[in-house]
Amino acid sequence: MATYNRAAMQYQKNAVQTASPAKLTLMLYDGAVKFSNMAIEGLHEGDLEKAHQNIIKVQKIIVEFRSTLDMKYPVAKDFDVVYDYIYRRLVEANMKKDVEIMEEALKYIKEMRDTWKEVMRLNNVT
């Protein structure tokens, strides 16, 4: 089992190191969705530490997205507004341990991910 885990971790490391910037962005969105789902699961289970740790992971991803925006493009300002809103909702979901707020944040994250996937598809980016 340990050999399998090492192989899986090496595969994942290689996938990240060889991915295009567009694919890395998609991987971050996928991570945000995964961690959001894990946080929601933690909230449903009453495992507040699990919820907290996963919400923090999502917040870090949103901070990363915001920090890489190139503000010379008008659309970046629109993205920043959405990221700011998602981030504030994540903070609120974590403070209140509120499933509904977390599900709302997840909905917006999924919409952003799906938009990014469509941009990649339209531009034939892999």
pLDDT for res 7: 55
pLDDT for res 19: 84
The first and second tokens of residue 14, run together, are 């290689």
Q: Helix (H, G, I), strand (E, B), or coil: what is residue 78?
A: helix
Please choose, from the candidates 116, 123, 53, 117, the residue with its C-alpha nearest in 3D space to the C-alpha of residue 90. Answer: 53
From CA 91, how far away is CA 111, in angstroms rounded?
Answer: 19
The pTM assigned to this predicted structure is 0.86
From CA 112, how far away is CA 47, in angstroms rounded?
Answer: 28
From CA 45, how far away is CA 103, in angstroms rounded?
Answer: 15
> Mind listing the pLDDT tens digit for each residue in 2-23?
765 665 556 555 555 668 999 9
pLDDT for res 17: 64
Residue 95 within a domain: yes
For residue 91, give the CATH number of its domain.
Answer: 1.20.120.340
Residue 14 within a domain: no
> Mind listing the pLDDT tens digit for each residue in 23-64?
999 999 999 999 999 999 999 999 999 999 999 999 999 999
Residue 11 within a domain: no
From CA 87, how far away is CA 7, in angstroms rounded?
Answer: 34
Mean pLDDT of the chain: 91
Domain span at residue 52 reads 21-122
